[in-house]
Amino acid sequence: MSFQAPDIDYAGLSPVIALTAGLCVVLLSGLVGGARQRFVVSALSTVTLATAAGLLIWQWGAAEDLVAGALRLDDLAIAISLIAVTAAAFVVPLTLREPSAEERHGDFQALLLCSTLGMVLLTQAQNLIALFVALELLSVPLYVLCGSARRRPQSLESGLKYLIVGSLGSATLLYGLAFIYGATGSTDFTAIGSGIDAGLADDPLVLIGIALAATGLAFKVSLAPFHQWTPDVYEGAPTPVTAFMSVATKAAAFCVFVRLFEVALGPSVDDWQPPLAALAVVSIVVGNIGALGQDSLKRLLGYSGIAQAGYILTGLVVASVTGVEALVFYLAAYTLMNLPAFAVITVRERETPFGDDIRAVQGLGSERPALAWPLTISILALAGLPGTAGFIGKLFLIEAAVEGDYTWLGVAIVVGTMISLAYYLRVLAAVWMRPAAEAAPGEGMPAIAGGAPEADGAEAPPGTRCLLILVPTIVAAAATAVFGIYPDPLVDWASNAGDALAPFLT
């Protein structure tokens, strides 16, 4: 009797393997102390992420099942994984001088890589179990990262809040997945799809499952009315972590949202389309209105992220290839435009005593053009003004909405954009049209050490004008502008990703 070893597709798994190996190396190298430790660790993380990105690009065009069908490597998975990996690589230099990561760079970076690994797996998940495991792999490190600024109560609060709400979301999702499994007797997406197609579409178990799964995923992508955690967690978490969460988590969760709903639950599209459309509209309204009165830039971007999630959901609701393409395009554009904004907030947090208050960016236009321009481009793109990738993304989404007979969702996007101008323009007005703010008494020190009393009087860390932050920020902002003027490569890339789901869609 001969033992048949399972056939393992190492090439397909290579990005995951690279990330796992890099994660271990980074974790271990963090244990070795030394003056240059933080640079070594950050360099190792960057190398890991670059390797993973290289391997993902190498696998571009693949369409195969991995690990006995638990994972599916296709262009959609690769595209979204690339977004997550890019976001992580962007965040690494931001954490270099992050107070919360001082002394424990190894842990910090390893958690970041672990979360990225979860995202890469999540984009490929094609099985309810794989979905849940990957989602937890993504979330658990983030709970820790959010609370990693241990000297700052807000950070701890943020971590705890995220843990509780996130677990609630996970539990709801798991419950929903159980219902779906119960009804169809399968955990595989395609098998669930054919099961529902074979007459289970009106089964109450399936309907409850869909509702609970949608709720759980809505928590993760921060759609209203499941968004309450977002502004608090975004505000409390260390800014680089917020930056990472706002784009990468959203991208990965939307990817699995699309895969679950359009592959597995595709046959019952008529059941989930109207409620999800309603969810999109509620998010657009709540996010944009919530952002209006915010003085904290991170809260503002948190609410704006809720609204953006509403826009992105449109691409899912219409259940068409164009919709998925628009969704992927918008996620990529959103990554490019959101990261520079957070990078600028990170830098200003360390330079000024205002934290992430809007006063921190006042007068930036005349004082620090190298920061003001990326922030300006990124805000203009978030507002969807032409000449930026944000405009093309909105155009893409509205086109998908109108094409899918959801013109009123297009109207909702447009109305939301109008409201959003009120707060986006406030930021631009602060940057270009107001003089730099004077610190009030008692606000004397930059929060370099998380506002800890014992750090008062410490010198501002050297290299706050750090090129390592500035260069990626400017590159991302420039890419936002370039893809607004010449969007063809990004559109092609998104269409490839969307075509991966073409067999399941009209």
Partner 1 sequence: MINFLLWIPAAIGLLCFVVPRKGIRILPVIGALHVLVLAIVLVLGFDPDAAGLQHPVDESWIPDLGVRYQLGVDGISIFLVLLTTLLWSAATLYSAFHPPDRARTYFFMLGLAETATLGAFLAQDLLLFVLFFDLMLIPFYFLIGAWGGENRVGATIKMVVYTLVGSLLMLLAAIATAILAEPAVGELSFSLADLRANVLPEGSQDWIFWFFAAAFLVKMPAFLVHGWMPDAYRAAPIAVVAVLAGVLSKVGAYGFLRIVLPLYPDATLQFQDVVLVIAVAGIIYGGVMAFTQTNVRLVAGFSSLAQLGFITLGIFALRPDGADGAVLQMVNHGLVVAPTFLIIGLLAERAGTEDLREMGGLAMRAPILAAMFLIVTLATLAMPGSANFIGEFYILIGTFQSKLGFAVVASVGIALAAFYAIRLYQRTMHNRLPDGVTSREISLRDGFVIVPLVACIVALALHPGLILERGEASVEQALDPTIVARR
Which residues here bind partner 1, judged by CB under 8 A? 325, 365-366, 369, 380, 385-387, 391-392, 394-396, 398-399, 402-403, 407, 410-411, 414, 417-418, 421-422, 425-426, 428-429, 432-434, 487-488, 491-492, 495
In 384-462 the beta strands, taken as DSSP E runs, fall at none
DSSP structure string for 77-128: HHHHHHHHHHHHHHHHHHHTT-GGGTT-HHHHHHHHHHHHHHHHHHHHB-BH
Contact at 8 Å (CB) between 382 and 337? yes
Residue nearer to partner 1 on the CB measure, 387 or 461: 387
CA separation for the pair 343, 325 (Å, rounded): 27
Nearer to partner 1, 419 or 445 (CB): 419
68 backbone φψ class: left, alpha, beta (φ>0; ψ -120 to 50):
left
Of 43 and 475, CB closest to partner 1: 475
- Are the CB atoms for 145 and 108 separated by under 8 Å? yes
Least distance between partner 1 and beta carbon 317 (Å): 17
Nearer residue to partner 1 within complex by CB, 13 or 398: 398
CA dist 222 → 229, 326, 503 (Å): 8, 19, 29
CA distance 28 to 22: 10
User: What Å distances lie between residue 212 and 199, 272, 346, CA to CA?
Assistant: 21, 11, 36
DSSP 72: E
CB 503 within 8 A of CB 266: no
Least distance CB 399 / partner 1 (angstroms): 5
Least Cβ distance, residue 336 to partner 1 (angstroms): 17
State in angstroms the smallest separation of the CB of 363 from partner 1. Answer: 11
CB of 125 to partner 1, least distance (A): 28
Question: Minimum distance between the CB of residue 385 and partner 1, rounded to whole angstroms?
Answer: 6
Q: Which is nearer to partner 1, 421 or 439 (CB)?
A: 421
Q: Do residues 257 and 213 make contact, with C-beta atoms less than 8 angstroms apart?
A: no
Rank residues 185 and 369 by Cβ distance to partner 1 and give the closer one. 369
Least distance (Å) from partner 1 to the CB of residue 231?
A: 23
Which DSSP string do the residues of 164-176 spell out, in sequence order?
A: HHHHHHHHHHHHH
**Is residue 357 classed as helix, strand or coil in its secondary structure?**
strand
| Nearest distance in Å: CB 357, partner 1 | 18
Distance CA 420, CA 428 (A): 13
Q: Which is nearer to partner 1, 102 or 399 (CB)?
A: 399
- Whichever of 51 and 362 has its CB closer to partner 1, that residue is 362
CA distance 391 to 337: 11
Q: What kind and span of H or E run contains 64? A: strand 64-66
Q: Between residues 28 and 433, which has the closer beta carbon with respect to partner 1?
A: 433
CB of 481 to partner 1, least distance (A): 11
